[in-house]
Every structure is written in C-alpha cells, then in structure tokens.
Structure 1
Amino acid sequence: MSTQQKELISRRYPWMVLSVTSLGVLLTLLNVGTLNVALPVVSRHFHATAITANWILLSYMLFNTVFILIFGRLADMFGRRRLYIIGLSAFTIVSLLIGFAPNIWVLLVLRVVQAAGGAIVVTNTTPLLTDAFPEKSLPKGLGINVLVASVAQLVGPVVGGFFASVLGWQWVFWFNVPFGVIGVIWAMITLRSMPSTGTREAFDLPGNILIFFALGGAILALSEGSTLGWGNPIVVAGLLAFVILTPIFLHIEWRAKSPLMDLRLFGQRRYAMAYTSAFLNSFARSAVVLLMALYYQTLDHASAFTAGLAVLPVTAGMLLLSPVAGSLASRYDARLLSSLGLALSGLGVLVLIFEVGPASSFAWAAVGMFLVGAGTALFMTPNTSSIMTTIDPAHRGTANGLRSMLQNMGQVVSTALSLMLVTASLPPRLQASIYGGNAVALPQRDVHLIVVGFRTALFAMLIATLIGVLTSLVRGQRKHAQAH
C-alpha cells in the first residue's frame, strides 16, 4: 500500500468510527423511545400491574445509569474496541431473547442485561470518537453524534407505535437484531485496537459495589417516591442507602490508588463546572419534555401520540443546531458557547412558563420548546469537547462515563422532582388526571390548580438552568489538549 493510500485511509478513519458509534447510539436510544409508546401493549400482553409495568422502563433506566460509570472505567482498563463490540453484541442478543420472554419476570431480568449492553455502547462512544478525531475536527464529530441521538429520540415513538400496533410488541425489540448484527460486524472490521490508551490498573471492586447500591437507592426512591409516597418503607430505604453509602464511597474513592471515580477531577475547576453544568442541562431539558407532554394530555385532552407530536419542537431544535454547534465549537471557547446554550434554554423555559394556561398559544409554546432544544444542542457539543480533549487519553472512558452518568441522573431527578411539584398541592382526584390524562372538561378552579403546578415545576427548571449558566461561566479558560 502506497503512502498516499495510507494517508487517505487515515483521513477517512475518524468518519468510519463515527459511522460505527452512530449506529450504536441510534439503536440504544431508539430502544428507550420505542418502549415508551409500546409499554401499554407490552403490559397488556403480560397482564402487568401498574407498578410492574413501571419497572419495565425503570429496570433499564436504573441499571443503565449505574453501569455507565462502571463500564467507563472498564473500558480504560481493557480497551474500548473490545468492550464496545461485547456491549453491542449483548444488546443485540438480548433484544432477540426478549421477544420470547415467557413472563414479566424473565422480561425484567433480560431488560437489566440489555441495560448493561446499552451502557457499554453509550460510555464508549465519545471516547472512541475522541481517540479517532484530531482535536480541531472533534467538535464536528461530536455534533453529528448529538444529531444522531436527536434523530433517535425523534423517530423512536413513531417506530415503537408502528411495530407494536401492526406487527406485535415483540418487534419493538426484534427490529434491533438485524441492525445490531450489522453494527457488530462493521465495528469488528472498522475499529482499530489501541492498547496504548488502556490502563492495567486494579479494578475498584469496593467502589463498584458502593456506587451500585448508593445510586440504585437514589434512583429507586426518586422514581417511586411520587407514586408510593415519600414515607413508604421502600422509598425510605432507598434514600437511606444513598445518604449512608455516598459518603463512604467518596471516602474510599479519594484514598483509592485506582478509583472508579477520579474525584481529583472535581479539584480542577474546569472539570467540576463542566460536569455540574451537564447535570443541570439534562435536569432542565428532560423535565420540559415530560411536563409539556403531560400538560397537553391533561388540559388539552390530547392523545399520547398527539402529545408526542406536540413536543417535537424540542427535538427539532436539537436537530437543527447540532451541526452548527459542532462547527462553532471548533472556533470559539467552550465556556462562551455552553453558557450561551444554557441561556437560550432558559429563555425557552421562561416562554413556556407564560404560555402554560387556559389561553395558551401552541405557536408560542412551540417557540419555547424549540429554544430549549436548540440551547441544549449548543451546550452539549462544546461542553463535551472541553472535557474530552483535555483529559488524559488513558482515562477518557472514566471521564465520559462520569459525564453520561450525571446526565442520566439529571433525567431521573428531574422526572421525580417535576412530578412532585406538579402534584404536591393537588387533591388525589386531580393527581390521577395528571398521570392518566383527562377525557372530560375540568372546572375552572381545577384548571387553575393544575396550571399553577405546571408553572411551579417549570420555574424550578428555569432556576436550574440559570444556575447552570453560572457554573458554565466560571469554569475558566480553555486549556490545550494533551497529546495523544
């Protein structure tokens, strides 16, 4: 092979890696969106109770969030290529097996294994791109990756609704299989082994066990608190596990030679503020989508499908701004762009606060949701790039795992908190209408109570976004990437 051919392949390699990771991201995120729509069909098939049906979603969310941090560390130890292929293979095989699940309990166990495979794919995506792309063009690659994630969120409910209603609930999972097989083969052909980026440090077993039970307790409590009640023994036990085990985990991690979570990153302002901002951005955006979907079903009597269409402006904003954000991030300081993105999202939430109500205009609400999505896209690419290009290449999996875990935690916390704020001051009969929608007109007094609840929850999201602007601004100036 000539030198010219080698140079051509070298220039193409980053984009080939992007094609591999894009397919993995597309599959794992489609899996979340499709099941959100198909859940009633799956629940009816297995005669699941309300709580059991909730765990079809919750089991994946819980274990995916916990495993993201763990597998980020393992990728640094054993190599990203190998672990990525294992994760996508596991995700594909389990997608096939779920369609043959004989009962709800087998389904839940398989969903946990699927969550592990999905966590491996997600936590390796950004490090693989960072290893492959030169620093100058990395933001463009990350921007396209965010774009693919947005597409998955956009088409997921449509795909899930089609398969569940036309071909049966099994195809909600089986459609992953052919694409997963293609993805595994393409990854084996394309990805290069890069042993120099891995580490051979000891596996942090105590840290893994503690973080599993601490985060597991927190997610369990926050997810079930609004349903079972905050005084329920299960919820209290989850909160106690988080409160007691978290300080123990932090103490052990600070003293460990090969920690699962490198707490020294938080001693550097640019990392601490970038991570905090990522959590707050995810916290605000996730709740906006949930709140507006519930709002249209509760007060406008929209169907779930119609409500899903109504919140598409958030995804549209992410789709349109992601490529622009990638281009801008290669030329401008991450602190400026990320802070501007959060401010744009905050402006969108402010518009929604004024538009929620009996005399609301969907046009203005759409503008507000679009701004939230656009601001998120403008925030994510430069913020992620600022973390990944300045971290030691051997620890990119750990750094990205921490970032992904904090984003997932933002989604979980915002879901629990926003639902609590919406329903906290409502009588039980109105709480039921929030969760299940309402097919009949409500008295004006009840409408007022519900509107106040939604505005209170949105106001909390606005405060979180404004705090995110401040944490992003104080991160400090951009540092040059370390050689790799």
Structure 2
Amino acid sequence: MSSTSVDHSTPPAPDAAPPAARGRRANPWLTLCAVAFGLFMVQLDGSVVAIANPEIGSDLHASTAELQWVTNSYLLALAASLILGGKLGDRFGRRTFYLVGVVGFTAASVAIGLSGSIEGVVVFRALQGLFGGLLMPNTLGLLRAVFPPRKFGMAVGIWAMVSAVSTALGPIVGGLLVEHVNWESVFYINAPIGVIALAFSAWVLPQSRNSGGRERFDIPGVVLLAAGLLCVVFGVVKGETWGWSSAGTLGAVLAGLVILVLFGWYETRVAHPLLPMRLFRSRALTVGTVITALNFFVMLGVIFFVMLYLQNVRGFTPVEAGVRTLPLSLASLVASPLGAALTQRLGARFTMPLGMVLQAAACFGMLTWQTDSSYATMWPPFIALGLGVGMVMSASSDAIVGNAPVQDGGVAGGLQATTLQIGGALGTSVLVSLISGKVGATLTGELTDAGVPAAMARGLQEAKDAVAMGVAPVSGDMPAGLRAAVVEGSGQAFLNGVHTAVVVTGVLCLIGAVVAALGLTSPGRRSADG
C-alpha cells in the first residue's frame, strides 16, 4: 500500500495542523487510534506474563533461575533497543519501524506459545523485547509528528491512559487465560491484536521522518548505549538474587554507568549522535525523564507486591486479585486525560507534583494493611495510586516528547520508554529486596508471637525467601493450630516488609514532588527548538 510522506524537520506552528497528506493519513486522531493498538499489546504483555510464570515453570520443568530469564531476557532486549528504535524511526520512517515492530512482536508471541521448551520461551521473549523496542518509541514519535503542540498534551493523555489501563488489566486477563485456557494463550492473545494493529495502522498511518537522510548512522553510539544499558539493567535485575552489595551486582551496575558516561561523552563529539545531548538542555525534559523513572519505580514495584499480598497472603485467585485492583485501572482511565487537560491549562509544574503527592498518599495508606484487612482499606490507595500514576505519565510524556524538537520525536519517545523500563526494573528489584531484608529480620519473632515454638520458628527462618513472596512455609502434616500460627506469623512478617517498602516509596514520591515543583518552569513553556 502506498504511503504519503510527512517531513517534520521543523516544528509546526502552534495550533496549526502539521503539513501532512490529505484524507485519512492526515487525521491525527486516526494515528492515535492506530498506535494505541500496538501500545496496548506491548503493555498488556508485560503484566500478563507475571501471572503465567508459575504455570510456565511447572509445565516446562523450569528452574527458578530459568524462569527469571523469561522476564529478564525481555527486559534486557527492550531496554537496549528503545532509543535505537526511536532513532531508526526518526531517520528512516516512524511508520515503517512501528509496523516492523508490530509484525515482529506478534510473530515472536506466537513462537513463544509454540516453542515447547523453556529455552525457546527465553529466546523468543528476547525477540519480543527487541521488536517492542522498535514499536514503543515510534508511537510517541508518530503522535509528536502529527499533532499540533496545543493538542499534543491531550493526545499524550490518551496514550498514557492506554498504557496504564493495559498494564493494570494484565493481571485480570492473564488470570482468566491461565485459569480457563493455558499459559500459551497469554501469548497467543497478541495474534489477533497484532493483526488488527497491522491492518489498521497500514491503512491510516502517515510516513514521517527527518529530512536529513544523508546523515551517517551512529554505530559506535548504538554499541555503547546498548552495552551500558544491558550492564545496568542486568545488575538491577540480578541484585535481588545476588545481593545489592555483591561484587557481581556492583560490578555490573558500575560497568554500565561507566559505559553510559563514555557514551554521553562520545555523543557530544559526533556530528549526528544517536541521542543528541542537546535534548537535556531543556530542564523540563530532564526533570520529566527523572520523574518518569520514579513513576514506574512506584507503579510496577507496588503492583508487584500488591499482587503477592492479594494472592499469597489473602488467598485470592489471580482473577479475584485482578478484579480487586480494578479501581486502579479505572482511576488511571480518568487520570490520564485529566492530567493532560491540567497540564495544558496549568502546566506540568502543577500536574506532576500533584501526581507524586497522590502516589505518596497511596503508599502511606498501605501502612494500614494487615493480614485480615477489609477491602475498604485497600481500594482508596488503589484509586490514589491510579490517579497519581496517570497524571504523572501524562505530564512527564508531555515534558519529554513535547519539549523535544519534532525531528527528535522518536528519540525522545525512546528516551522516555527506556527510562520507564529501567525505573520499573528498579522498583520491582529494590522493593523486593527491602521486603526480603525486613522479613529476614522479623520472621522468627513474628512466628513465636503467633504461637510457633521457638525452636521451630528458628528452623523456619530458612524459608524467609518464600515468606518474602507472601508464601507461608506450611506442610500438610502440620496440626491445624500450628499451621494457622505459621500462616499468621509469616503473613505478618511479609507485611512488615511491605510497610518498610511503602514508607521508602512514599518518601521518594514526596522528594519527586519537590524536584518537579522546583525543576519545572512556568506553564506552557517549550524549548525554543521544539
């Protein structure tokens, strides 16, 4: 099918539609609908897999280490390819690389279900991450290219809503599929979504790229950035199991940071850099990048231990747990366009701190949770978290992509997507480590307080890793009274860890609110070149 080209080497005038093709390919709202399909597929997949992992491990006889790589291989490939995907789209065509990403992600999803081995699952998960890295940044790049500045904020709000809702719906969809079909269906569901996304996108998306097609491609920058991100993310995801002070963790993270510093130095000395360092001259873009990382640190980290609490401590099925987190999804649905509207009217300096304060309130509200808490104590933090995450996502997306020059829209989208992935990986790993440390320190005492004999409580200390995941170390031959005591003590130790994690997270949110309030400029300001 022929495609009409849109050249956006210079930004459009405010409130003016970008000079594009006529007809359906000139309609920015059709572009938004098209990229929403791909975004929904990637974000949904990221959260449904967590529900499927136990069944994958059981069916394919995978070890815990092998099962970790089902998540880690995807995360590493995605983090390493996001900025590259945005750059390729900016130079050779955002529509082209978005469609390549959709096709590759869909095919890799089907291949995972057909693989029949844990090794195949890991390899195709890595391919999923690679194609997701081509797809995700070009969603924002396409929106930046077709929406005039005054409407871009609302488009980002809807983009953020799709992202947040699909992530929050993951546990429900995954639970239904795993319980009533099989784990393979968690990946097969991407096939119909991908086909619809491909057909609709090929029909409506305009081609947009930079006019500087003769620029030399920054291969050394690609290698340095990929190596640096791989080392950092690898160290982060392994920190939970190796220990944060271990030589392996520190070595991987420090090596990655050194390589990234070298990458930044190199990028200032080449004519056509992969990631133009001039982007960070915009204080709003820099602050937005930092807050994006913190936003997903909170969102993915908190959702991870919330699902452990609901399923392993409270005993809900995956579907029941997912239904109980619906207030989070619904709040995100409202918050993203609301956050975009507030950002347009009052500026990110208002919306971003407000969202961080709401997330802090959600975290501190979880301090009231106990092993037998009623649902009335759960849904208010879910609503506050959903509102906060949605508002910050809209405001930070506008700050990052909206403050980048149009010709760097894909790179800015890749920067945002990379930042949120690293923030999410840090959130899950760091909070699980905090919970594990507190469980280790309090488990024996909580077991004895619950009525477990002291000698047995000391012996059960060896099960602290299971308790840190919300699992009580009980066996079928335990007397009913002793079993109940072990469940009670283990649940309380887990909650001790959760309470530590939410205090730390809440404090970080308040710091983020201060950084956003002090670091952002007055409403409606844009960088001179964006």
After TM superposition, the score normalised by the length of structure 2 is 0.83
Worse-superposed segment, 136-145 or 305-314: 305-314
Alignment of 1:222-371 (within 5 A): 222-230=236-244, 234-353=248-367, 355-358=368-371, 360-371=373-384
Q: Distance in 1 between matches of 2:305 and 2:189?
A: 30
Deviations 1:55-107 (A, max 9, x none): 11111112112211221222222121111111111112222222221422222
Question: 2:500 — aligned with what?
Answer: 456
Question: 1:218 — aligned with what?
Answer: 232
Return closer, same or farther for 1:238/1:290 CA change in 2, 3 Å cut-off.
same
Residue 475 (structure 1) aligned with residue 520 (structure 2): yes
Question: 1:3 — aligned with what?
Answer: none
Q: Distance in 2 between matches of 1:375 and 1:42?
A: 33
Per the TM alignment, residue 448 of structure 1 is displaced from its structure 2 partner at its CA by 4.9
Per the TM alignment, residue 135 of structure 1 is displaced from its structure 2 partner at its CA by 1.9
Per the TM alignment, residue 150 of structure 1 is displaced from its structure 2 partner at its CA by 2.9
Alignment of 1:42-441 (within 5 A): 42-196=56-210, 200-230=214-244, 234-353=248-367, 355-358=368-371, 360-425=373-438, 426=440, 427-435=461-469, 437-438=471-472, 440-441=483-484
Per the TM alignment, residue 242 of structure 1 is displaced from its structure 2 partner at its CA by 1.9
Return closer, same or farther for 1:56/1:403 CA change in 2, 3 Å cut-off.
same
Q: Distance in 1 between matches of 2:244 and 2:395?
A: 38
Q: Distance in 2 between matches of 1:159 and 1:183?
A: 19
Q: Distance in 2 between matches of 1:447 and 1:93?
A: 42
Aligned residues: 478
Deviations 1:244-296 (A, max 9, x none): 42332232223233222333333332221121111112212222212222233
Return closer, same or farther for 1:10/1:314 CA change in 2, 3 Å cut-off.
same
Q: Distance in 2 between matches of 1:69 and 1:407?
A: 12
Give 2:525's aligned amino acid. K
Structure 1 unaligned regions, length at least 5? 1-5
3-state SS, counterpart of residue 345 of structure 2: coil
Kept in 2: contact 1:211–1:249 (CA 8 A): yes
Worse-superposed segment, 426-435 or 68-77: 426-435
Match of 1:21 among 27, 35, 42: 35
Q: Distance in 2 between matches of 1:92 and 1:219?
A: 24
Alignment RMSD, CA only? 2.6
Kept in 2: contact 1:77–1:200 (CA 8 A): no
Per the TM alignment, residue 298 of structure 1 is displaced from its structure 2 partner at its CA by 4.7
Q: Distance in 1 between matches of 2:32 and 2:46?
A: 21
Q: Distance in 2 between matches of 1:77 and 1:350?
A: 45
Q: Distance in 2 between matches of 1:321 and 1:72?
A: 27
Q: Distance in 2 between matches of 1:136 and 1:337?
A: 16
Per the TM alignment, residue 413 of structure 1 is displaced from its structure 2 partner at its CA by 0.6
Per the TM alignment, residue 481 of structure 1 is displaced from its structure 2 partner at its CA by 6.7
Give 1:455's aligned amino acid. H
Q: Distance in 2 between matches of 1:364 and 1:197?
A: 55
Return closer, same or farther for 1:351/1:187 CA change in 2, 3 Å cut-off.
same
Worse-superposed segment, 139-148 or 125-134: 139-148
Per the TM alignment, residue 467 of structure 1 is displaced from its structure 2 partner at its CA by 1.6
Deviations 1:344-374 (A, max 9, x none): 2212222122x13357443133101210110
Q: Distance in 2 between matches of 1:123 and 1:376?
A: 19
Give 1:34's aligned amino acid. V
Q: Distance in 1 between matches of 2:515 and 2:341?
A: 23
3-state SS, counterpart of residue 137 of structure 1: helix
3-state SS, counterpart of residue 378 of structure 2: helix
Q: Distance in 1 between matches of 2:468 and 2:276?
A: 41
Return closer, same or farther for 1:303/1:327 CA change in 2, 3 Å cut-off.
same
Return closer, same or farther for 1:451/1:34 CA change in 2, 3 Å cut-off.
closer
Deviations 1:35-71 (A, max 9, x none): 2222222222221111101111111112112211221
Q: Distance in 2 between matches of 1:198 and 1:379?
A: 33
Q: Distance in 2 between matches of 1:104 and 1:198?
A: 44
Per the TM alignment, residue 231 of structure 1 is displaced from its structure 2 partner at its CA by 6.2
Deviations 1:374-412 (A, max 9, x none): 011122212212332332111111112111111111111
Q: Distance in 2 between matches of 1:430 and 1:414?
A: 21
Worse-superposed segment, 130-139 or 263-272: 263-272
Return closer, same or farther for 1:198/1:51 CA change in 2, 3 Å cut-off.
farther
Return closer, same or farther for 1:482/1:88 CA change in 2, 3 Å cut-off.
farther
Kept in 2: contact 1:135–1:481 (CA 8 A): no
Calculate percent identity across the aligned residue pairs.
26
Per the TM alignment, residue 109 of structure 1 is displaced from its structure 2 partner at its CA by 1.4
Worse-superposed segment, 153-162 or 66-75: 153-162
Kept in 2: contact 1:198–1:394 (CA 8 A): no
Return closer, same or farther for 1:55/1:140 CA change in 2, 3 Å cut-off.
same
Worse-superposed segment, 277-286 or 408-417: 277-286
Structure 2 unaligned regions, length at least 5? 1-19, 441-460, 475-482
Q: Distance in 2 between matches of 1:17 and 1:24?
A: 11
Kept in 2: contact 1:349–1:369 (CA 8 A): no
Deviations 1:112-148 (A, max 9, x none): 1111111211111111112112222222222222222
Q: Distance in 2 between matches of 1:159 and 1:197?
A: 42
